[in-house]
Amino acid sequence: MSVRVRFAPSPTGFLHIGGARTALFNWLYARHTGGSFVLRIEDTDAARNTREAVEVILNGLRWLGLDWDEGPVNGAPDGPDKGDSGPYFQSRRGDVYRRRVRELKDKGLAYDHEGAVKFRMDRRPVVIPDLVVGEVTRELTDREQADPDFVIVRSDGQPVFHLVNVVDDLEMGITHVIRGEDHLSNTAKHIALFRAFGDEPPLYGHIPLILNPDGTKMSKRDQGASLTTYLDEGYLPEAVRNYLCLLGWSPKDNREILGLKEMIGLFDLPQVLRHNARFDLEKLKWLNAEYVRQLDPGRFQECAVTAFKRAGVELDRCDAGYVRRALETCRGKVREFSELPAYGGFYFTDEVSFDAEAAGSVLIPDNREQLQKLREAFAVTDPFDAATLETVLKQTAAGLGVKPRALVHPCRVACTGAAAGPSLYHLLEVLGQERVLRRLDRALERM
RNA sequence: GACCCUAUCGUCUAGCGGUUAGGACAUCGCCCUUUCACGGCGAAGGCCCGGGUUCGAUUCCCGGUAGGGUCGCCA
């Protein structure tokens, strides 16, 4: 039988990083086994059921490259579906749930209680065979011991999560349920429900949770909990995907950077770790930087232009060749594209803003004479290219009896406003003689 | 409170009875260098505790501790 897995998020207008990893693991398992990845929207809570909220999830999955074989085509609950087991919005499956509740009542396994419908659960422990955790025997808690039955339809007529989740997995022919470990305890209820319908439950794989750096549960409000923030800050989806797959899973051969093909080939459930992992932004940033370095020039430019646009700088107005050469000097220098506008912004403004500390330490009267000499040398430098500029600067330094760095630093701060930046000679070449001289003059004025 | 899961450097992890306990991120040195990065070399840093089992436990078992999860007419 072919593998069928699903990702079943609730549209809250937010895609949790842990949810994204759950989706990734499901997707990887489907691709690894040649099975199907189903996307189902659990929108039984009508109050938060908006198209926009669903779109956030779809966009997040698309961004990560997790395509679904079955599920909604867009965020509209009444929109088109892809696949034969739909509808894939629970808000459209009311008939199915009503029929299944009827079935349970007819079997004497469910009953009305204060306007709601409760499922008759027995008190025996339930054995959960889990592909990740192993065999788990779930005993009843003290409260459940007092009353093991649970609500499957609310008094307002809305079916409850446990019911719809099981019914849909059953109706959609889901073979493997890969989900967060927070559902492990609930699984006893789900297994009981499957049996009540006369079916065997699917195979379960409960994956560990992603925790905050301090070990607490990562909730909606926590820094970095939303996948959207990485999208907005210009992280590369392949880097985020790579980082996520390394949380709770490992290829076992000390490799960290994994392409999609390798990931699919290597991923399997038995190797998934059993303990929770803490989210480490520093490592994500490192991975992102690795991927940025390997980016082809075209895509690098594209991402860079987008980053500037987000920062409110329209590069479209500048000369395309200038933009391309300017951005190219910033390659490999920043870990995230969101850092780029601050890093290379000096290229695109005539009003260089000086970093107070950098300017205060080098744009001082003591350096004025030397910078003036450099300005004079640059005024007659031809061609104005990196190699020539380097030669000229070094000759000027030699003539003054100082080390090149004595000129390099003031020159850099004068032209870029910052102590750190792209290769000096290359950035001077890109800026061009006219801009460089103008900037040196401005710096000299304030010395 | 009850029930369930988990436990290797600060973090992510390799390990599956005998290893100098390996790698990566972060940290700290040194080198490279026009700054910053990158890169190279190196350092520091770990098997939660206590019992067993065994000739021998990081590894297997039990207990404790700690962390996480669940016990909703939320999902």
**Average per-residue pLDDT for chain A:** 94
pLDDT at A147 over 70: yes
Instruction: Count CB atoms within 10 A of the CB of residue A143.
Output: 8
Please give the average per-residue pLDDT across A118-126, as a whole number. Answer: 95
Q: Is A34 left (phi over 0), alpha (psi -120 to 50) or beta?
A: left
Predicted pLDDT at A50: 84
Looking at the DSSP assignment, which residues form a beta bridge with residue A127? A137
Please give the average per-residue pLDDT across A44-59, as a whole number. Answer: 84
Predicted pLDDT at A438: 96
Sheet containing strand A150-153, edge to edge, reads: A110-113, A116-119, A150-153
At residue A130, φ and ψ (nearest 5 deg) are: -115, 130
A44 touches strand B (CB under 7 A): yes
At residue A89, φ and ψ (nearest 5 deg) are: -105, 125
Question: What are the E-state strand segments in A257-351?
Answer: 277-278
Cα torsion at A289, A359, A349, A395 (round to 10°)? Answer: -90
**What tens digit of pLDDT does each residue of A185-205 get?**
999 999 999 999 999 999 999
**What tens digit of pLDDT does each residue of A239-267 get?**
999 999 999 999 999 999 999 999 999 99
Instruction: Count CB atoms within 10 A of the CB of residue A242.
Output: 21
pLDDT at A337 over 80: yes
Please give the average per-residue pLDDT across A141-162, as a whole number. Answer: 95
Q: Which residue of the set A105, A220, A283, A309 is catalytic?
A: A220
The verdict on whether A82 is a catalytic residue reads no
Please give the average per-residue pLDDT across A355-379, as a whole number. Answer: 92
Pairing of strands A203-207, A176-180: parallel
Tokens of A376: 């004079």
Residue in this structure with the two tokens 């920062």, named with its chain if needed: A311
A256 touches strand B (CB under 7 A): yes
Predicted pLDDT at A221: 83
Angle (CA) A111-A112-A116 rounded to 5° is 125
Predicted pLDDT at A88: 96
Q: Which residue is nearest to nucleotide B69 (CA to C1')?
A: A182
Q: Which of A440, A437, A435, A429 is nearest to A325 (CA)?
A: A429
pLDDT confidence of A350, banded at 50, 70, 90?
A: confident
Which residues, in sequence order, are CB contacts of A342 under 8 Å at separation 6+?
A: A311
A271 touches strand B (CB under 7 A): yes
Q: Which of residues 74-103 of A touch strand B (CB under 7 A)?
A: none
Q: Which of A63, A64, A61, A94 is nearest to A77 (CA)?
A: A94
Q: How far apart are CA A405 and CA A194, in angstroms?
A: 74
A15 touches strand B (CB under 7 A): no
Q: How far apart are CA A416 and CA A348, in angstroms?
A: 10
At residue A203, φ and ψ (nearest 5 deg) are: -85, 140
List the A292 CA – B40 C1' distance (angstroms): 21
Predicted pLDDT at A46: 63
Predicted pLDDT at A48: 61
Residue in this structure with the two tokens 């005993």, named with its chain if needed: A139
pLDDT confidence of A86, banded at 50, 70, 90?
A: confident
Element (H, E) at A242: helix A237-245
- Which nucleotide lies nearest residue A147, CA to C1'? B71
pLDDT confidence of A68, banded at 50, 70, 90?
A: very high
The percent of residues above 90 in pLDDT, for chain A, comes to 88
List the A276 CA – B66 C1' distance (angstroms): 14
Q: How far apart are CA A152 and CA A159, in angstroms?
A: 6
Predicted pLDDT at A77: 87
Which residues, in sequence order, are CB contacts of A3 under 8 Å at separation 6+?
A: A29, A30, A33, A34, A35, A36, A175, A176
pLDDT at A382 over 80: yes
Q: How far apart are CA A111 and CA A209, in angstroms?
A: 35
Q: Which of residues 409-438 of A touch strand B (CB under 7 A)?
A: 409, 412, 419-426
Q: Which residue is nearest to nucleotide B12 (CA to C1')?
A: A247
Alpha-helical regions (H) of A6-93: 17-33, 51-64
Please give the average per-residue pLDDT across A369-388, as a whole number. Answer: 95
Residue count of chain A: 447
Q: How far apart are CA A246 and CA A279, in angstroms?
A: 11
Q: Which residue is nearest to nucleotide B71 (CA to C1')?
A: A141
Predicted pLDDT at A317: 85
Looking at the DSSP assignment, which residues form a beta bridge with residue A135? A129
Instruction: Count CB atoms within 10 A of the CB of residue A253.
Output: 6
Looking at residue A64, its amino acid is: L
Which residues, in sequence order, are CB contacts of A295 under 8 Å at separation 6+?
A: A236, A303
At residue A85, φ and ψ (nearest 5 deg) are: -110, 20
Predicted pLDDT at A421: 95
pLDDT at A219 over 90: no
Q: How far is CA A237 from CA A240, A300, A408, in A?
A: 5, 13, 37
Q: Which of residues 316-375 of A touch strand B (CB under 7 A)?
A: 332-333
Q: How far apart are CA A205 and CA A16, in angstroms?
A: 19
Q: Which of A60, A50, A63, A118 is nearest to A89 (CA)?
A: A50
More confident residue, A226 or A219: A226
- Which nucleotide lies nearest residue A12, CA to C1'? B75
Interface predicted TM-score (ipTM): 0.95
Predicted pLDDT at A246: 97
Q: Which chain B positions come under 7 Å from a protein C-beta?
A: 1-8, 10-15, 22-26, 34-38, 67-75
